[in-house]
Chain A
């Protein structure tokens, strides 16, 4: 079977010593930043990206991916133990998970989360391996007009899933696209918006944007009201769930996995939506809905599985279409490009070892997470005691050093400060930063394909609606936009996100 051959190739790559080692480093770091409030995977990946430039491409990507899904995992640990979700998708885990911890059942809650995540990760890895090749072969037929519509579709769908008002998310995307035009024009070489500064000819580095928006802005928000974090950590005794627990988590894990795997493909935070949807589903079909919110183990197992499955399948659009579903993946596009690989449908044929190696590494990473997390719970809990006064200077300093080491360009460092302030003010005004980063990364693609499509059609814009793929994608994009703006659906969306 072809799938098995491919997976065999993947595992032979992923099991190389240095790849396992960096997979381990990735999931370890990911768990750490998932546990620590105030620093997330996006800022971490942005800071570590320059370091990975000297690695083999596949090793670099394995580590960066590990940080991403490791963080989803770590976030649930703090959600359960101290009611502090390290990651937005873990917010729903805190509802029942922390309640279980208060009843002295932290162990089974953590175990349910871990087992659910592992099952979900395994199933989603297979789903990813099975779904990617056909999708990539479809994507190979895409012309510039289709790509333009695809990117537009991806950006607009991410609005439907973003928190806050659709209008603001749309404006953030457009602003990101606009900022992405700084630098030399690809067709004419004209420097745009560079104020005669040679250092800006290459454009604004996306690492600066990410570090500013997700690192600096977040720190400023945390410094608004400093409180000593008194973490009252529940004691973890007896990890193993009872027979009754085990019986109750099987179905939620499977349903959560399915939901997560499907929703994870959507651009822009599918994993947050997946965990909330799974929680809602479990509550609705449960025979004991009154137990939800009072320590129902189904409310931990389902959402945690959904969240982890989604984290895995969100690599599908990245690996087959070159479309990032999450800011971390937008950064991974940069990692691909630095190594001379254009992310998109060609990766699977041109770099099969890299493609399958990355996928196989995710399963290995899930095994490592399972082995790592349950025994090391004590270590993670102790990490929560690191005072913020030590943590935030470290983040700022490492961010500055990391960004400078990208191109040894002082402007990249100045840009951190600029985007930090801009992001901070906009976040305070209710604008989520993720759409801006997605717009920034995808903007140049949008412009390039728009112009190329118009050159091919000799300036006739109808090409976007006469090509069937492009037309279908544009229709879907409009549907997504309408859905995001329509009041009735907006209210439902508000309900989904209200519990955060």
Chain B
């Protein structure tokens, strides 16, 4: 049989083994109990082992007769900027307040596109900030302060 090595298969398998394995290790730290009274660790252990086994099977199959998938390019800039924007939002929403957090998050996100011009980005971010303030705070009465304690207001 022709050997078709598939990088995506091996990567996917690896991810399953890694996450499943982490849960297995974690689950062993909790009480496993008996079949009648299963402890908190028993079910995660069972499922974790299953995930590891499936991951190994996928990776193993990927080495011999993998699925033909083109992995394609990775938009590194978009990945980095969007993750940063989302983390920024979570971290500062309470501290900076709704308006500044939304504005910065929107501006960052807009810059994820490699083709955007700075002026367009600022305009889109400003528009989105106004729109979301109107929709979420004015319209839907979301209880998030507009300006947060970090601004000393």
Contact = CB atoms under 8 A, between A and B. Distances in A.
B8 A185 contact: no
Interface in B99-135: 102, 105-106, 109-110, 112-116, 120, 124-125, 128, 131-132
B67 to A, nearest CB: 6
Main SS class of interface, B? helix
A174 B44 contact: no
Contacts of A175: 16, 19-20, 51
Main SS class of interface, A? helix
Contact of A167 (B54, B75, B105, B136): B54
Nearest to A219: B82
A443 to B, nearest CB: 8
Contacts of A170: 54
Given A175-B16, A416-B86, A454 B36 contact: yes
B26 A193 contact: yes
A353 to B, nearest CB: 26
B54 A174 contact: yes
A413 B20 CA distance: 23
Best-surrounded residue of B12, B37, B55, B124 (most CB of chain A within 10 A)? B12
Given A171-B58, A185-B40, A429-B12, A393 B35 contact: no
Contacts of B91: 410
Contacts of A388: 113
Contacts of B1: none
Given A171-B51, A171-B54, A447-B43, A396 B61 contact: no
B82 A220 contact: yes
Interface stretch (A18-26, A30-38, A420-428): A420-428
Contacts of A421: 79, 83
A389 B12 contact: no
Given A224-B73, A392-B112, A461-B35, A410 B94 contact: yes
Contacts of A177: 47
Nearest to A448: B43
A430 to B, nearest CB: 5
Given A181-B44, A216-B86, A451-B43, A226 B110 contact: no
A455 interface: yes
B11 interface: yes
Interface stretch (A56-64, A89-97, A132-140, A399-407): A399-407
A190 B78 contact: no
Contacts of B150: none
Place the interface of chain A in its size category. 35 or more
Contacts of A397: 89, 102, 105-106, 109, 128, 132
B146 interface: no
A25 to B, nearest CB: 13
A235 to B, nearest CB: 29
B86 A454 contact: no
Interface in A173-227: 174-175, 177-178, 181, 185, 187-188, 190, 192-193, 216, 219-220, 223-226
B152 interface: no
A389 B116 contact: yes
A28 to B, nearest CB: 16
A389 B110 contact: yes
A411 B82 contact: no
Interface of B: 8-9, 11-12, 15-16, 19-20, 23, 26-27, 30-31, 34-41, 43-44, 47-48, 50-51, 54-55, 57-58, 61, 67, 69, 71-75, 78-79, 82-83, 85-87, 89-91, 93-94, 102, 105-106, 109-110, 112-116, 120, 124-125, 128, 131-132, 136, 140, 142-144
Interface of A: 51, 164-165, 167-168, 170-171, 174-175, 177-178, 181, 185, 187-188, 190, 192-193, 216, 219-220, 223-226, 388-390, 392-394, 396-398, 400-401, 404-405, 408, 410-414, 416-417, 420-422, 424-426, 428-431, 443, 447, 450-451, 454-455, 458-461
28 contacts: A167-B61, A168-B12, A171-B16, A171-B58, A177-B47, A178-B19, A178-B44, A181-B47, A188-B31, A216-B82, A220-B75, A220-B79, A226-B113, A389-B120, A397-B106, A397-B109, A404-B89, A414-B86, A416-B86, A421-B83, A422-B15, A426-B15, A429-B15, A430-B8, A451-B43, A454-B38, A458-B36, A461-B35
